[in-house]
Structure 1
Amino acid sequence: MHILVFGATGAIGSIFCDIALEAEHSLTLFVRNQRKVPARVADDKRVTIIEGTLEDEEILNNVSRCEADAFVSFAGPPVGNKGTPLTDGYRALIPKLISRDIKRLLVLGTPSFKGSSDIPAFKWRLGELTMKALGPMRGQYWEMMAVGKYITSLSVDSGVRWTLFRVGGLTNGKQSPVETTVLGSGKDSMWISRASVARWVLDEAVEEKWVREIPYICN
């Protein structure tokens, strides 16, 4: 399988690249700074690196021509984020991917973005109110809400097969079994290891069990 990865130089993305290569997949990495890609990944013959930003139309056209089978994004806004640059980038890139028949999309989301199957729970409401109240985190909240709205609005008629995977608190623990659930289920722990997220996403890219769904994943 050929996977286009956005956010490959982050903690989860780096782990994802390692396990994807171990599983004999090939990768195209869309990164801002290719010097941040670990040498063990950058030097692998199965890896192609495209350096650029979501604001560069020519780069986006180049990325869309990579002939990947799936697009995976671990990108999230930084603390103090202003506006919706990530969402705007997705709006520019994803239609280009779809036009090139890259229609399997797996994108990182937030538990603040709710689905119809979620059950109201105090801990998640408290977390949402906290993000809204704290100035440095408020921009992150609105950006990730916008990401969720955009990804879930993608037309079924286009044939796109999206999955918005939501995570809570991230740890540096080892890979362990993942609970795929909804908010308020009683199984919705607030924590998951980065290694577990990476493995779940790789498996889902191949198995497609949660197409056009917004699962919450945790350990």
Structure 2
Amino acid sequence: MHFLVLGATGHTLTLFVRSRSKVPTKVADNKKVAIIEGTLEDEDTLDEVSRCGADTFVSFAGPPVGNQGTHYRLKTLTIAGSLKALTNGYRALIPKLVSQGIKRVLVLCTPSYKGTSDVASFKWRLGEWTMKAIPSTRGQYGEMIHVGAYITTLPAEDGIKWTLFRVGGLTNGEDAPSERNFLGQWK
């Protein structure tokens, strides 16, 4: 994926990545870019990341296809796997970031996470059912539901302003218009 950042002049960027070798050389060699390699399960790396000096935390992370990292109930069927790696990673990292002064958190989620202002439609329910029904996407679905549930409970009294941006079907395809709204409220 390619991201455009407006207003980045004079700012620095810290990338927290699993594999530094996947970062393009042009980015890795930039003096305004710091790279921290590690995982959300590594406490020492999370401590290092939390002390990077950032003002805002933005995450586009998501579970890989076939992830079985979430335990959730689907009517009478229970899907169990390893611990919720992404959700637990956020639970470990975000309090560390807050302790270092981060005030803004923006996290990618799924449209399947239900917001209080959402209006469910047949199309939405069909998409949700499909994610639950396909074995290779069950873990992804459950993991992202847990991510949404965690982020939306971040306490305002800690001074955190959070945004959970729920998008589906991100690809490297052609640009298309987007609109900010709640589920079921598009034109």
TM-score, normalised by the number of residues in structure 1: 0.75
SS in 2 for 1:105: strand
Aligned position for 1:51 = 37
SS in 2 for 1:131: helix
How many residue pairs align between the two structures?
172
Aligned position for 2:163 = 163
Is 1:60 paired with 2:46?
Answer: yes
Q: 1:173 to 1:134 in 2, by over 3 A?
A: closer
Alignment partners' CA distance in 1, 2:158 and 2:7: 32
Question: What residue identity is the alignment partner of 2:165?
Answer: F
Q: Percent identity?
A: 65
Q: 1:22 to 1:70 in 2, by over 3 A?
A: closer
Alignment partners' CA distance in 2, 1:33 and 1:41: 14
Q: Deviations over 1:161-206 (max 9, x none)?
A: 110000022233444542111111133xxxxxxxxxxxxxxxxxxx
SS in 1 for 2:61: coil
The structure whose Rg is larger is 2
**Preserved CA contact (<8 Å) 1:32 1:51:** yes
Alignment partners' CA distance in 1, 2:5 and 2:185: 30
Aligned position for 1:149 = 149
Shift of residue 143, structure 1, vs aligned partner: 0.1
Is 1:90 paired with 2:90?
Answer: yes
Unaligned runs of 5+ in 1: 1-10, 188-219
Shift of residue 21, structure 1, vs aligned partner: 7.9
Root-mean-square deviation (CA), in Å? 1.5
Aligned position for 1:39 = 25
**Preserved CA contact (<8 Å) 1:32 1:52:** yes
Alignment partners' CA distance in 2, 1:172 and 1:80: 20
Q: Which has the higher helix share?
A: 1
Shift of residue 23, structure 1, vs aligned partner: 3.5
Alignment partners' CA distance in 2, 1:21 and 1:53: 28
SS in 1 for 2:5: helix
Query: What is the 5 A alignment of 1:51-130?
Result: 51-83=37-69, 84-130=84-130
Unaligned runs of 5+ in 2: 70-83
SS in 2 for 1:40: helix
Question: What residue identity is the alignment partner of 2:59?
Answer: S
Q: Deviations over 1:133-161 (max 9, x none)?
A: 11110000000000000000111110111
**Preserved CA contact (<8 Å) 1:20 1:26:** no
**Preserved CA contact (<8 Å) 1:76 1:144:** yes
Answer with 66-75 or 175-184: which moved more.
175-184
- Bigger relative contact order (CA 8 A; separation at least 6): 2
Alignment partners' CA distance in 2, 1:181 and 1:21: 22
Q: 1:133 to 1:115 in 2, by over 3 A?
A: same
Aligned position for 2:79 = none
